[in-house]
Amino acid sequence: MAETHHFDVNRLFSVKDYVCVVTGGATGIGLMATQALAANGAKVYITGRRAEALENAAKHHSPEQDRTGGQIIPLGPCDVRKKEDLQRIVDELSKKEKYIHLLVCNAGVAGPKAEPKEEDASDLKKTLWDNESIEDWQQTLETDVTSVYFTTVAFLPLLQAAIGQTKKEVGGQGETSKIEPYEPSVITISSMSGLMRHAQGHFSYNAAKGATVHLTKLMSAEFQKLQIRVNSIAPGYFPSEMTAKESDEKNKSGFPEGKIEATGHVPLMRAGRDEEIGMAVLQFAKNAYVNGEIMAVDGGVLNVVSGR
């Protein structure tokens, strides 16, 4: 039975001594997840296609060692669409770590955009036909869905190896309350766009993220026999290189003033804050009684935009 001090936030959401991997972890939502984990004591390996971005994220966002013990460590570079790259970083990591506790599959692309505004079928065909290609669709699906599957599969042995390992949980009054087993998990980053019927001009992206949502449910059901949980965060409007088209010298992005308000369908009338992604990551990382769930962190958009 839990005593009151067992509900101390530092006990509930500490990931001290966790070993984590975040794909696309140098910018955007991946960097937000990385910061949340490292700030709460985790050793976080980040991977992506650009070595310079990985090094820059570690340089600017690693926490003070004497305060949390967390670390941000570049791993790669790696193109998650390539099985040989995935196996290479798994092999590289296996030389340093015996297991990992958390995998965050975040890498993704936006895909082509074509606004379906026309009411004449011939005009609509021209807009969609001329502004999208089969190659664009294939790249979007490869990055946003296929790579999530193969990344997860690649890391399954390292995730399962964490089972049976234990850590000391410290209660809110400073004493060690009990020994708790690690329970490994995967967090996929889908999108509110995969939960709505509005195409937003991104048929391929929204279709891919819808597939990521279902893939998450499939993996959660099939991989629970390995004692590995799989959940998904479906973000709304958060600043990233994908949504804002750029980042600053610290790999951080921002929206122009009024951009989110102009959409007309965000009840909170603002973009999401970095910390709000961090809260969702820690919830899925620590709550072992949650499996196969999709958490929309969207400012209420799905309350006013048609969903599935």
Per-residue pLDDT of the chain (308 residues; tens, 9 = 90+): 889 988 999 889 999 999 999 999 999 999 999 999 999 999 999 999 999 999 999 999 998 766 678 999 999 899 999 999 999 999 999 999 999 999 999 999 998 888 899 999 999 999 999 999 999 999 999 999 999 999 999 999 999 999 977 665 544 445 444 556 778 999 999 999 999 998 888 899 999 999 999 999 999 999 999 999 999 999 999 988 777 677 778 887 888 888 888 888 899 999 999 999 999 999 999 999 999 999 999 999 999 988 76
Annotation says 83 is catalytic? no
Catalytic residue among 190, 204, 232, 253: 190
CB contact at 8 A, 23 and 90: no
Catalytic residue flag (residue 205): yes
- Is residue 14 among the annotated active site residues? no
Tokens of 55: 């090094």
Pairing label, strands 176-181, 166-170: antiparallel
The residue from 18, 45, 182, 205 that is catalytic is 205
Active-site annotation holder among 177, 185, 209, 253:
209
Domains, the chain, with CATH or none: 4-304 (3.40.50.720)
pTM above 0.85, yes or no: yes
Distance CA 204, CA 133 (A): 10
